[in-house]
A and B are shown apart, each in its own frame.
Chain A
Amino acid sequence: MFLTGLIDDYQHDGRVLMELIRPNALSGDLHAHHETLLRLGQAYKQINAPFGQLAMSTLAISTSALQSVSMNDSTYTQLEAQIAAWTAQRDDIAAQMKALLEGAEFGGQAIDEKQAKSLIAQAQSLIGQAASLAASL
């Protein structure tokens, strides 16, 4: 859709694959912020995609939760609560990332470098937390 120059009347869950587009083929702001857009898009993918790093960790945690047998099902309850909390955080971070990406890719908006880098850091933190818990189970 990006290549055709058209715009959907809704916000995508996907992103433009900046990896496949030569930076010098991009227009003004996209070219200027190419590196940040690339990193933002990749971080977005890792926290939002079903096969991203975050989901792979939480899937392992989910598996442990569902197979667990504990007093009052406390293990299941705790692990599920943690996944739910991370999902809420993920949804919030991903929504902001998506707005930045779509605004830059389809809306002609200059990307806020500071906000983008903050979101990338938040995503990496979330990924790290989930990976740590998954590794401990």
Chain B
Amino acid sequence: MKSRKRILKFAWALLAGAILLAVAAWPAGARAACQLGNGIEHVVYVEFDNVHFTRDNPNVPSDLEQMPHLLNFLTQNGTLDAGDHAVLISHTANDILTTQTGLYSDDDGIAVANSFGVFDPSGVGFPSSFFYWTDLVKDITPATMDSTFALTTPSGENVPAPWVPFTRAGCDVGAYSTANIVLERSPFDVAKVFGNPSSQLSESEPQRTNDFIGEAIHCTQGSALCSTANRGVTDTLPSEPDGYMGYQALFGAKYIYPVLGNPNDYNGNPLNSFPGFDPVPAQTLAMVEAMLKKGIPVVFAYIADAHDNQEGHSLSLESTFGPGEAPYVKQLKDYDTAFETFFANLKSEGIDQTNTLFVFTPDEGDHFVGATPANPGCDGVNTPCTYPTSPVPGVGELDINLNGLAAAAGDSTPFDIHFDDAPTVYVPGQPLPTDPSVRKLEQTMAGLTAENLHTGSIENLMVAMADPVEESMLHMVTQAIPHARRHLRTSAIPTSSSSRRRPLRAPLRSWAPASPGITATSSPRSRAPLSVSQVRESTISA
């Protein structure tokens, strides 16, 4: 599962704006024609997964506090907004979509992520929420036979693309690893833009993914960057308001790397192949820098969260970390070093807060829900924190067999769920929400309890519940996808922004254990998203 991972306690939006005029030495190209307001010459928009501004442990500096080059850049040059919330359900794909478009999920079609349930002839399918902008539901999961745009407006049109205002204004737009505006999936996204048959589609895996997934340049009309000679292809948006003709795009490292002058990441490794959707700042920021230096004035990019192990076994054998763990602190230090390099390199090219709108924003909004450190006085920086390994790992998610618990409570109604700490429940056959079987299931779930394996206490599993009536209030009902009816949204979370720990999660549908109970894993999912949250309210960040 692609893991542009989930998030934090308080989502935060960081906006470092620049409204001053400045002149920089730039290569000729699209920049000369790019017309932005308020003296802005460049826009750098970075989606930073699961980064924490507030502390999960009061003794341990937060993520941002451990990245002073980023934090200081923001606080000294712009505005730090710690009151931001994501959409419901708070997850990477739909949060990124919301920040890119300024639309609630009921207006973009993706209310449940990182996959969404769709009733298909065989039951309930769960297409990924990561796909290319123009994909149909059946492109992602053919079994659905659903020709609706996966990113759909309420009237069934494809959601307007976020790069369009910029390209129409004469600006090329770069994208790196961020959701839905790059090719996400092979082979069908490759087939969509390059055609079937095509030489690109005929490549074998993993080369095809390395070559074409994860990065894109959407060009303004006439931009040389996306010329046919550079392997540019038509940037097709089939239902963009007022049409979208005469635009081209480049997709994938195979074509973008040479156009950018064969850049390396900040560790000296060539960026000639997409590294996957969990890039670290040394990769993402190097690519953003390369695009800016090439004269691409607007760049959207993504950085993977720092609380999971993004650096591999050279950093730690653990896959995920608790606050203050030594590898976590080390990784944040590496992240900060990349930011230091990034801002310094840009400044040396005349790109800084005086002429550039920098936006750094998180998705999701999780917080740490694991165990108390084994050495409670630790601060991470001077004294690394350690976490218990028994009776269950103190770091890592706790999963629960929701189907098994319901059955044990005497309710045999079959149902499927979207795996999450606020699982979405689908009842096969699509009975109405008022159907007695659905009502009984809701009542059963409302009474479920389970032991918190970190504390030993018995907790109610459900803190908040919503069916499609309340989901409409929460902007979660997608009118244009008839097969997407959900029956119940359960929430094992508090309905406030309190920091109450929420370690219980539902199992992954049919892969759930056969008997009720909680299982602990060491998978990199120890942070549960705030599912009751709100949309980014700012159109300035969309």
Instruction: Check A45–B465 contact: CB distance below 8 A.
Output: no
Of B87, B102, B537, the residue contacting A8 (CB under 8 A) is B102
The range of chain B's interface size is 35 or more
Q: Which residues 15-59 of A sit at the B interface, judged by CB distance below 8 A?
A: 15-17, 20, 25, 41, 45, 48-52, 54-56, 58-59
Q: Of B102, B240, B467, B475, which contacts A50 at CB under 8 A?
A: B475
Q: Which residues in window 74-107 of A have CB below 8 A to B? A: 76-77, 80, 83-84, 86-87, 90, 105-106
A40 → B minimal CB distance (Å): 13
A14 and B536 contact, Cβ closer than 8 Å, known pairs A5-B36, A8-B165, A66-B443: yes
Across the interface, do B464 and A62 meet the contact criterion of CB distance under 8 Å? yes
Interface residues of A (CB under 8 A from B): 1-10, 12-17, 20, 25, 41, 45, 48-52, 54-56, 58-63, 66-69, 73, 76-77, 80, 83-84, 86-87, 90, 105-106
Residues of B in contact with A (beta carbons under 8 Å apart): 15, 17, 19, 36-38, 40, 43, 79, 81, 85, 87-88, 101-104, 107, 160, 164-166, 169, 240-242, 357, 434, 439, 442-443, 446-447, 462-467, 469-470, 472-476, 488, 495-496, 532-542
- CB within 8 Å for A67 and B535 given contacts A3-B37, A50-B475, A87-B472: no
CB-CB under 8 A from B81, the residues of chain A are 17, 20
A10 touches B160 (CB 8 A): yes
Q: Are A56 and B532 in contact (CB-based, < 8 A)?
A: yes
- Total number of A-B contacts with CB less than 8 angstroms? 170
A56 to B495, Cβ gap below 8 A? yes
Write out the residue numbers on chain A whose beta carbons fall within 8 Å of the beta carbon of B462.
63, 67
- The interface residues of chain A lying within 8 Å CB-to-CB of B104 are 13, 50
Contact call A3/B17, Cβ cutoff below 8 A = yes
Contact check, A2 vs B539: say whether CB atoms are below 8 A apart: yes
- Report the bound CA distance from A12 to B102 in whole Å: 5
Smallest CB separation, A46 vs chain B (Å): 10
CA distance A12 to B160 in the complex (A): 11
CA of A36 to CA of B38, assembled, Å = 24
Across the interface, which residues of B come within 8 angstroms of A62, CB to CB?
Answer: 464-467, 469-470
Q: In whole Å, how far is A45's beta carbon from the nearest beta carbon of chain B?
A: 6
The answer to whether A6 and B464 have CB atoms under 8 Å apart is no
B241's contact among A10, A77, A105, by CB below 8 Å, is which?
A10
Which chain B residue has the least Cβ–Cβ distance from A13? B104
User: Considering only CB atoms, which chain B residue lies closest to A77 in the complex?
Assistant: B434
A2 vs B462: C-alpha distance when bound (angstroms):
40
Q: Once the chains are docked, how many angstroms separate the CA of A8 from the CA of B164?
A: 8
Contact call A1/B88, Cβ cutoff below 8 A? no
Q: Which residues of A contact B242 (CB under 8 A)?
A: 9
Task: Say how far B479's CB is from chain A's closest CB, in angstroms.
Answer: 12
Output the least CB separation between B365 and chain A (Å): 10
Q: Are A14 and B37 in contact (CB under 8 A)?
A: no
A13 surroundings in chain B (CB, below 8 A): 102-104, 107, 475, 535
